[in-house]
Amino acid sequence: SSKSSNLNETQNDENAYLQPLDVPSAVRSLSKQDMSRFWGTYRSGHYLGLRTRSEKSLLAGMMWLNNKSPRNEIHGDIFRHKCNQDNQLKYGWKEHDGENFGVQSVEEKNYKIWTKFLKQQVGGHGGDWTVKVETEGTGTTTFAFYFVTDSDGYLKVPLGHDSADELDKFVEQENTAFWTYSDYLNKITDLEDDVMRRLAGEYIELNNQKVPHFWFDEPKYDKNYRKPNHKNHQVVVHSITCEHPCSFEVNFNSISGNHERKRPLVGEFFDEELARHRKNFKRVFGSRIKLQEEFSGEEHLEFAMAAVSNMIGGIGYYHGHSLVQKKGEKVTPNWDAPLYTAVPSRSFFPRGFLWDEGFHQLLVSRFNPKISIDSLCHWLDLLNKDGWIPREQILDEEARQRVPDPFIVQGTDRANPPTLLLALDYLVSSEKLEKEQLQALYPRIKAWFSWFNTTQTGPISGTYTWQGRHIGSENLELNPKTLTSGLDDFPRASHPTKDEYHLDLRCWMALAAQVLGKMAIKLGQSNYEYLQLEVELKDNTKLNKLHWDAEEKQFSDFGLHSHNVKLVRKLVPHTGYIQLFPFLMKILESDSEQLGATLDMIADPEKLWTDFGLRSLAKSDPMFNERNTEHDPPYWRGNIWININFLAVHALDFYSDEPGPYQTQAQTLATRLRQNLIGNVFRNYKETGFIWENYSESDGKGQGCHPFTGWSALTVLLMEETKF
Ligand code: 6A9
């Protein structure tokens, strides 16, 4: 692609930042190759996209189109393939366990499609699977189910309607197959056009019947398909046109399972096996995620299961490299590596994000810790020699096509909050991480921590600075962004300088030191270094000295800020999520004036309190709901975000148990905030069928992209009986 053609220069081996950290791979340390997650719905940016967890994979997927509707009646793509918000479809996994099965529904205007994915572990290569498609409603739909080979294999699917058909589990009205080639796996997008040209409307008369003209289409470029050249990926597409309601099965059998397979996964056996797994899923769900009495009804349970299932069903597997850049050097490809990760949104951001993943795995680890450990090992294997992990994982051409150029390149000095440690901390304290696994991860976590503690330090001892704010861009943006912090446009010092320092990062470092110290003890190693830093970073006197603004009665960043028309170095008086961090990380002493002031800020409807959750920026803040540029609407300047609200509820729970002058206030706020959040996210789900990226502070409506079953799905943990 033109985007990267000038970037594929040979790597300079002396550049440490382009090499993986020099300790044994965490992924490889996982107890022998576990095949239970080999096949999966890992192309989660598609309505139904399957692949294996291997570098090169046979891909499978499905698309469909509305034959009967005139084009202009259909929203979005005429060919439904990639998840696209413009299609205005309601879709998502109702149940998905990440290992055995998933049940998804997709709602078109006049009909509904169920995609039921089920696996059977036989043989040594991840076993068999079947996709059963069932529809309800009226009208006719043409489905196209396809397979794409990696560049080594080839498909031997006999063509023609009268030959024995290896994909013959279709129950169809019209059933056609054809070949095509994709010269590049990642340009599978072109497949839509190709299939479209062949399917869209071109019918011929045959025996007084209208049939698609490609019925007996000869393979187009298949002269040498038995010896495909390495660039080519062979594609076979099977199309089925049926009248609703209808159903068909696509059954994949792994040859290595032939001697073990009692029955193929089709027909009655499929239905029985699926029913068995669904029952088991509900049982396991109920035992691992116990909902409070008031949420134990059908509707809440369905919501909770859908939230978890979409998080798990959205997990993707990628293989490729980021494009990275060290300050002052040219953009270079990183090494090729796999990533198994949940994604914030299947439609908009179907790829990995570092700080999102820590929140994702807090939820996933409740249901299946093995999945979380697997993900964390993959993420921590991405550490380079310096201990850096790229924030946004845009690993292949398909991912790069979705992202505008300036956002693709990852700077090697750029951080993102170390939330993976939140998930790890949970796994360690709940004894779900085995000692050997921790042993394998520990050197990586140490290296990551040490990268933070050397590259992100501020101008004076005990201070930390997010690198990478745009110095000198204050005339272009209302307030130059801090993407690395995760709270992109939350206002900071008006004029970025090298010597500003940030409150939230200091608090993240306190948390990191605390978690590392705990892990060291668990492994019987010295925790001295971490304990010392934890104590220093949690010292309220030191914290207040650096970040407490006595006049504004709040904590703040420090930097060059315009104040009464003058530019001065001072504490930056904005009010919102950043100000909560010492409270969120439970650093504040329970009888401190600072805790009291923070709780007041939370409870004040002119500041953070709304009936739907806490606002990201106070209503009273001068930048409340302000655009950053003409093209950049307010994002973290008022909207309600669930990840921070989740941390807030847990901090309130914590202070609710701490005797002191603010205990009762914390208790009241915890109860009310929890109720507001659950009530609103649930109401939106009922009304729209989706969990959203963020919620409006004025009426609670879901906003931004959807489905966003990333951290917003943490609502489920707020519904739990036992507090986190
Ligand atoms: C650039 C893509 C059509 C923004 O959830 C992922 C991140 C969070 O980590 C971050 O905290 N989101 C939050 O402020 C989404 C970021 C997406 C960037 C994509 C343009 C265009 O796609």
Residue 492 phi/psi, 5-degree rounding, is -120, -160
What separation in Å is there between the alpha carbon of 18 and the centre of ligand 1? 25
Note the pLDDT of residue 209: 53
Strands 332-333 and 203-206: unpaired
Please name every residue paired with 128 in a beta bridge, in sequence order, or none if there are none.
120
Asked whether the beta carbons of 426 and 433 are under 8 A apart, the reply is no
Asked whether the beta carbons of 617 and 636 are under 8 A apart, the reply is yes
Pocket probe mutation, ligand 1, options 311, 353, 628, max atoms within 8 Å of Cβ:
353
Note the pLDDT of residue 9: 42
- 659 burial type by CB count under 10 A (0-12 exposed, 13-18 middle, 19+ buried): exposed
Note the pLDDT of residue 272: 98
Measured distance CA(657)–CA(677) in Å, rounded: 21
- Residue nearest to ligand 1 atom 10, measured at CA: 486
Q: In the chain, which stretches have pLDDT less than 50?
A: 1-12, 158-175, 183-186, 201-207, 211-231
- Residue nearest to ligand 1 atom 20, measured at CA: 403
Beta carbons within 8 Å of 249's beta carbon, 6+ residues apart: 130, 131, 132, 133, 169, 170, 171, 266, 267, 270
Asked whether the beta carbons of 423 and 358 are under 8 A apart, the reply is yes
Q: Ligand 1, residue 403: give the atom nearest the CA.
A: 2
Distance of CA 49 to the CA centre of its chain: 16
- Quick one: tokens of 273? 């096996």
- Residue nearest to ligand 1 atom 21, measured at CA: 403
- Residue nearest to ligand 1 atom 16, measured at CA: 349
What separation in Å is there between the alpha carbon of 353 and the centre of ligand 1? 8
Q: Which of 488, 536, 552, 593 is catalytic?
A: 488
Note the pLDDT of residue 180: 55
Beta carbons within 8 Å of 388's beta carbon, 6+ residues apart: 17, 412, 451, 455
Measured distance CA(580)–CA(554) in Å, rounded: 9
Coil, strand, or helix at residue 536? helix
Note the pLDDT of residue 76: 83
In this predicted model, what pLDDT tens digit does every residue of 556-580 receive, in sequence order? 999 999 988 899 999 999 999 999 9
Note the pLDDT of residue 216: 29
- Quick one: tokens of 551? 């006049």
- Residue nearest to ligand 1 atom 18, measured at CA: 349
Residues enclosing ligand 1, CB less than 6 A?
344, 348-349, 353, 355-356, 402-404, 407, 486, 488, 710
Beta carbons within 8 Å of 213's beta carbon, 6+ residues apart: 202, 203, 204
488 among known catalytic residues: yes
Other CB atoms closer than 10 Å to residue 164's CB: what's the count? 7
Task: Please list the helix, strand and coil fractions of the chain in percent, rounded to the nearest 5, in that order.
Answer: 35, 20, 45
Coil, strand, or helix at residue 708? coil
| DSSP per-residue string spanning 456-483 | SB-SSTT-B--TT--TT-TTTSSS---G
Beta carbons within 8 Å of 34's beta carbon, 6+ residues apart: 370, 374
Pocket probe mutation, ligand 1, options 82, 349, 405, max atoms within 8 Å of Cβ:
349
What separation in Å is there between the alpha carbon of 251 and the centre of ligand 1? 37
Coil, strand, or helix at residue 56? coil
- The torsion defined by the Cα of 370, 371, 377 and 381, in degrees rounded to 10, comes to 160
Q: Ligand 1, residue 354: give the atom nearest the CA.
A: 9
Measured distance CA(117)–CA(39) in Å, rounded: 10
Q: Ligand 1, residue 705: give the atom nearest the CA.
A: 15
Q: Ligand 1, residue 483: give the atom nearest the CA.
A: 14
What separation in Å is there between the alpha carbon of 700 and the centre of ligand 1? 21
- Residue nearest to ligand 1 atom 11, measured at CA: 486
- Give the helix/strand (H/E) hosting 39: strand 39-40
What separation in Å is there between the alpha carbon of 340 and the centre of ligand 1? 19
Note the pLDDT of residue 602: 98
Measured distance CA(226)–CA(505) in Å, rounded: 56
Q: Ligand 1, residue 708: give the atom nearest the CA.
A: 5
Measured distance CA(543)–CA(588) in Å, rounded: 9
Measured distance CA(86)–CA(124) in Å, rounded: 41
Q: Which of 249, 273, 693, 697 is catalytic?
A: 693
Other CB atoms closer than 10 Å to residue 277's CB: what's the count? 19
Note the pLDDT of residue 159: 41
Nearest residue to 482 (alpha-carbon basis) of 417, 390, 388, 563? 417
Beta-strand runs (E) in 287-341: 316-320, 323-325, 332-333, 337-341
- Decide: pTM greater than 0.90: yes
398 among known catalytic residues: no
Q: Ligand 1, residue 407: give the atom nearest the CA.
A: 1
What separation in Å is there between the alpha carbon of 357 and the centre of ligand 1? 13
What separation in Å is there between the alpha carbon of 349 and the centre of ligand 1? 7
Q: State the number of CA atoms in the 13 A half-sphere of 672 facing the CB.
A: 12
Asked whether the beta carbons of 421 and 511 are under 8 A apart, the reply is yes
Measured distance CA(340)–CA(34) in Å, rounded: 14
What separation in Å is there between the alpha carbon of 434 and the centre of ligand 1? 33
H helix intervals, 289-353: 298-313
